[in-house]
Structure 1
Amino acid sequence: MPRRKISNTQAVCILLLWFLLVYILLRYSPTVDFMTVFTIIASGIIVFVPLYKNRRHKDR
C-alpha cells in the first residue's frame, strides 16, 4: 500500500503546530536546560525529516 503524498496545506499545518509546541515549551518552561533543547531538537527531527523526504520525492 503506497503512502499518500502530503499536500502543501498539510505541511503548513504540521509546521505551524510544531512551532506552537516549541513556543509553549519555551514559554512555560521554568529553565531552558539540556532536556528542553533535546526535546525541541528530537521533535524537530521527527517532524522535518518526513516532510523533507516527501518534498524530495515530490520533485521527481
Structure 2
Amino acid sequence: MRKPLTHTQCIILTLFWALLCFLVLTSAPRIDGPLIVAILISGALVFIPITKSIKARSK
C-alpha cells in the first residue's frame, strides 16, 4: 500500500483540479451533458484517492 497523501499534496491536487475545471468551463463554447459528465468523472478520479488517503492517515 502507498503512503497516504500529505495535507499539502491534497490541497495542491484539489487546486489543480479546480483550475483545470475553470479553464475547461471558460473555454468551452457550450456547456452540455458530456462536458458535465467528464467533469464529474474527473472529480471522482481526484477526490476518491484523496478521501482514501485522509481515512488511512486518521487510523
TM-score band, normalised by shorter chain: over 0.9
Scaled by the length of structure 1, what TM-score is found? 0.93
Gaps of 5+ in 2: none
Query: Comparing both chains, which one has the higher relative contact order based on Cα–Cα distances under 8 Å and sequence gaps of 6 or more?
Result: 2
Match of 1:59 in 2: 58
Q: Let me know the Cα RMSD of the aligned residues.
A: 0.7
Query: Percent of aligned positions with the same letter in both sequences?
Result: 29
Aligned residues: 59
**SS at structure 2 position matched to 1:3:** coil
* 1-structure distance, mates of 2:58, 2:46: 19
Deviation at 1:9, TM superposition (A): 0.6
- Structure 1 runs of 4+ off > 2 angstroms? none
Gaps of 5+ in 1: none
Match of 1:3 in 2: 2
**SS at structure 1 position matched to 2:22:** helix
Scaled by the length of structure 2, what TM-score is found? 0.94
